[in-house]
Amino acid sequence: MRTIIRNATIVNEGRKFVGSVVIEDEWIQQVLEGDDATQTYDIEIDATGLYLFPGVIDDHVHFREPGLTYKADIASESRTAAAGGVTSYMEMPNTTPPTTTKELLEDKFHRAAQNSRVNYSFFFGATNDNMDEVVWLDRQRVPGVKVFMGSSTGNMLVDRAESLHRLFATSPLLLMAHCEDTGIINANIRAFKKRYKGQNDFPVRYHSRIRSVEACYASSSMAVQLAKETGARLHIAHVSTAKELELFDTCPIEEKRITAEAVIAHLMFSTEDYDRLGTRIKCNPAIKTPEDKAALREALTNGKIDVVATDHAPHLLNEKQGGALKAASGMPMIQFSLVSMLQMSDEGVLPIERIPELMSHNPAKLFKIEKRGFIRPGYYADLTLVDPNGNWQVKEGRYYTKCGWTPMDERTFKWRVRRTVINGKTAYSDGIVVDGIRGKELRFEVS
């Protein structure tokens, strides 16, 4: 099957130009500047006026399967990913039960092979007690080990000094760290309870003072120090503060052993939004101040932030009831990551050419994903067509997450995803998720 996408504005590898992409079955065969009218094709897609990006690779999602499928599952959230131009994801281990054995990891791969609409892989979860399993993980199949160096669900909090040092010293895979200091968080909770005479919950606007800048920095700085001492390959998830950015270098990603991820929530919201959106924007680490948001946005172009992801984490709305302590933390964001970044580009936050670097090229480089993340001949045809004049409002019926809500509700976007191509096949087109399309398991190069 030969397909051509004609006359798109292609944004790829630091360039923006009008051209066409020829696809043979699941592979990109040619990238042309201009058009190719000399051959015939089985499928011709006229992309005049549209922008073509490499498919987004989201390295940080929670799809809730197994155990929490009443609010999300691999099938529903991969549909949501396709609608947002996300062609590959890497999912976190804090499901029920948590993915902390090879058997449970294999079960997730089996589920995704049956149900995932886009390409997939899964992190392994570190605990104080499963270090022996980490060294035997298949580096071609597993992107990394998730380590919770702060408050966590289940038994995945790695809080013994000897366990942490052993993990950093011996893991053959990249370590992706959630960094918040539990001791500081608990001390902040006690201080609030004393101040408010034993109350068991507080307004959500205090969430950023409980899971504070100090809690984030103390944990992140410890992780960075451990990585420097042991030579571990460290990727710090969802950096949320200006102070943490001091820990990271600005050199090219190929030269780094320690990298940083920002997520859409911390780039789009600040503490000023709590009064309007309440617990809908409660997440861990907490949404921080406008100054922190501005620093994170600046880091998108100065090289300190290497990857932009979503930390897509669906909950039912009734689980979001309460305040800073009782409301569930997390929000569904994967459908809106690319259009949010394009909005930031329109606002002058970053050049449009930087977006595929942060959302496609760098994730592919960081995790050494085989044949994905670029619009190149010989690579899988994972592509996203976006309309710069789509002008649409987010509302019920236009989002796909199983939990049935999003903090982006009522927001208007100028950019709109028109088509998502997975391995050469259209998985999403103008509001329709195509039935029967399944993604492939991601593969990782071992060097």
Buried/exposed code over 29-68 (b: 16+ C-beta within 10 A; e: otherwise): bebeeeeeeeeebeeebebeebbbbbbbbbbbbbbbbeeb
How large is the angle between the packed helices 182-195 and 213-230, nearest 10 degrees? 170
**DSSP assignment of 100-114, as one string?**
-SHHHHHHHHHHHHH
> 158 pLDDT exceeds 70?
no
> 22 pLDDT exceeds 90?
yes
Please state, in angstroms and rounded to a whole number, the distance separating the CA atoms of residues 277 and 408. 10
The amino acid occupying position 58 is D
Q: Is residue 442 very low, low, confident or very high in pLDDT (cuts 50, 70, 90)?
A: very high
What strands lie across the sheet with 86-91, from one edge to the other? 56-61, 86-91, 119-122
pTM for the model stands at 0.97
> 60 pLDDT exceeds 60?
yes
> 157 pLDDT exceeds 70?
no
Instruction: Pick 63 or 165 by higher pLDDT.
Output: 63
Residues 265-279: pLDDT tens digits? 999 999 999 999 999
The pLDDT score that the predictor gives to residue 397 is 86
Domains of the chain: 2-52+375-391+411-433 (2.30.40.10), 55-367 (3.20.20.140)
**Is the bond preceding 66 in cis, omega lying within 30 degrees of 0?**
yes
Sequence-distant (≥ 6) Cβ neighbours of residue 138 within 8 angstroms: none
Please state, in angstroms and rounded to a whole number, the distance separating the CA atoms of residues 261 and 235. 7
Residues 410-431: pLDDT tens digits? 999 999 999 999 999 999 999 9
Residues 85-132: pLDDT tens digits? 999 999 999 999 999 999 999 999 999 999 999 999 999 999 888 988
Q: Is residue 37 very low, low, confident or very high in pLDDT (cuts 50, 70, 90)?
A: low
> 36 pLDDT exceeds 80?
no
The pLDDT score that the predictor gives to residue 156 is 62
The pLDDT score that the predictor gives to residue 159 is 66
Please state, for a pLDDT cut of 90, what percent of the chain lies above it: 91
> 42 pLDDT exceeds 90?
yes
Residues 194-252: pLDDT tens digits? 988 878 999 999 999 999 999 999 999 999 999 999 999 999 999 999 999 999 999 99
> What mean pLDDT comes out for the span 5-33?
97
**Is the bond preceding 285 in cis, omega lying within 30 degrees of 0?**
yes
The pLDDT score that the predictor gives to residue 197 is 85
Q: Is residue 155 very low, low, confident or very high in pLDDT (cuts 50, 70, 90)?
A: low
Residues 339-380: pLDDT tens digits? 999 999 999 999 999 999 999 999 999 999 999 999 999 999
> 153 pLDDT exceeds 60?
no
